[in-house]
A and B are shown apart, each in its own frame.
Chain A
Amino acid sequence: MKSEEAKYDKILDILKRSKPVLSNSSDLEENIMNMIMQKQKKNDRFFNVLDFIFGWVYVGWVRKALIAASMILIVAFTYQQTIILKRINNLDDRAIFIEDQSVTGSANDAGRALFYRLSGQKLPSSNITISEKQLDQIMNSYNELEKKYRDLIKLIEENPELMNYVEKRLDEKSKKKFNL
């Protein structure tokens, strides 16, 4: 046991005496300083931008508050823009495209085709883009108008006095129109 301890002590003695020698310490020192400078430069660039923008504020806490506020505004603006873009894309998907003589896009149901046929006039050569909702509104208004017109004709036909009066008025109008 004693011999083991003696060996242990001897080994320790050797190791204690053999202090590790740091070779090329100047290179190591230079490497460390370069790495620190590089990190420092990166940080400095960021702070230089902040100084350029908020350099006119001399009170520390006001400057920090302004930086924080500007960051919040930038984040809010980016968020808002993202939402708007998303909604525009969503609307774009819903819209149908009506060209010169054909209905394209998602306008494939009978109602919209009828609207196109009844519109009669030639559409301008440039594309008109309307949403499905707007198209539905136009179709509803047209149907309502057509129904009212039929009701009015029926009412006139059922009442001979009213029919005579209308015919008479129409005759007068046509005479005026053609200067008879």
Chain B
Amino acid sequence: MIDHNIIEECRKGNLSYFRELVRITSPFAFSIAFRMLGDEELAKDIVQETMITVWQKIGKIKSANSFKMWLYRIVINKCYDQLRRKKKINEYKVDESGWAFISNHISEESVSEMENKETARIINLLTENLSPKQKTVFVLVDLEEMTLDETSNITGMSKVNVKANLHYARERINKMIKKYI
């Protein structure tokens, strides 16, 4: 939970409080950016850009209550731009060893935590065929466990649109699972 006092001080231009805000919020921002992009370095760049935007525009937010949603919105927008750029360059290639890696993991009895690299590999494989919108909704609802209202608020999509995108995202991932695992 972010202390309102910190946000108010940052709005006044207090840099030492902003350092504190960066320390608290960077992990959230990184988590979303990493799950969206599946690349640690790229996610760190997004966090940097996000924090600079936050510093430049924090005076414009109406209240400290809406800060977290506003921060997520900035991260999502930056990731969204990055995904659209990436989509133009990349073409889908089937990574057989990657699917074998997932298969091994889910066949294990106990669920163990993975390192960033492994997590990125699985997310990239599952979401390769998803559109940026579908990927955003999948990450926010299924991985970050946000509600439909929160997701709608962050992405600017209507609730119906969020549901539809989530449905298609799950359907596509299930097809991939059926095909490769």
The chain A residues found within 8 Å of chain B, CB to CB, are 4-5, 7-8, 10-23, 25, 28-29, 31-33, 35-37, 39-40
Q: Does B114 contact A (CB under 8 A)?
A: yes
**Secondary structure at chain B's binding surface: helix, strand, loop or mixed?**
helix
**Secondary structure at chain A's binding surface: helix, strand, loop or mixed?**
helix
Min CB distance B47 to A, Å, is 6
Q: Does B14 contact A (CB under 8 A)?
A: no
Min CB distance A160 to B, Å, is 103
A10–B142 Cα gap in the complex (Å)? 12
Pairwise interchain contact B106-A10, C-beta atoms closer than 8 A: yes
Pairwise interchain contact B106-A11, C-beta atoms closer than 8 A: yes
Pairwise interchain contact B119-A15, C-beta atoms closer than 8 A: yes
Pairwise interchain contact B106-A7, C-beta atoms closer than 8 A: yes
Name the B residues within 8 Å of A19 (CB-CB): 31, 113
- Knowing A28-B48, A29-B22, say if A20 contacts B177 (CB, 8 Å): no
8 further interface pairs, Cβ-Cβ under 8 Å (given A17-B113, A23-B40)? A4-B177, A8-B174, A10-B111, A17-B112, A18-B119, A21-B116, A22-B26, A32-B51
Interface set, chain B 61-92, CB cutoff 8 A to A: none
Pairwise interchain contact A20-B48, C-beta atoms closer than 8 A: no
- Knowing A17-B111, A32-B52, say if A11 contacts B126 (CB, 8 Å): yes
Please name 24 pairs of A and B residues whose Cβ atoms are closer than 8 Å in the assembled complex, sorted by A: A4-B174, A4-B178, A7-B106, A8-B173, A11-B102, A11-B126, A12-B142, A15-B122, A15-B143, A16-B143, A16-B145, A17-B113, A18-B114, A20-B31, A20-B35, A20-B40, A20-B43, A21-B116, A22-B26, A23-B40, A32-B52, A35-B48, A37-B15, A39-B52
Residue of A whose beta carbon sits closest to that of B175:
A4
Pairwise interchain contact B143-A12, C-beta atoms closer than 8 A: yes
Name the A residues within 8 Å of B178 (CB-CB): 4
Report the interface size class on chain B.
Answer: 35 or more
Pairwise interchain contact B22-A20, C-beta atoms closer than 8 A: no
In-complex Cβ contact of B48 among A12, A15, A17, A31 (8 A): A31
Min CB distance B84 to A, Å, is 22
Pairwise interchain contact B15-A36, C-beta atoms closer than 8 A: yes
Pairwise interchain contact A14-B181, C-beta atoms closer than 8 A: no
Min CB distance B181 to A, Å, is 6
Residue of B whose beta carbon sits closest to that of A13:
B111
A5–B47 Cα gap in the complex (Å)? 33
Pairwise interchain contact A8-B22, C-beta atoms closer than 8 A: no
Min CB distance A46 to B, Å, is 15
Pairwise interchain contact A29-B23, C-beta atoms closer than 8 A: yes
A110–B111 Cα gap in the complex (Å)? 105
Pairwise interchain contact B26-A36, C-beta atoms closer than 8 A: no
Pairwise interchain contact A5-B174, C-beta atoms closer than 8 A: yes
Residue of B whose beta carbon sits closest to that of A16:
B143
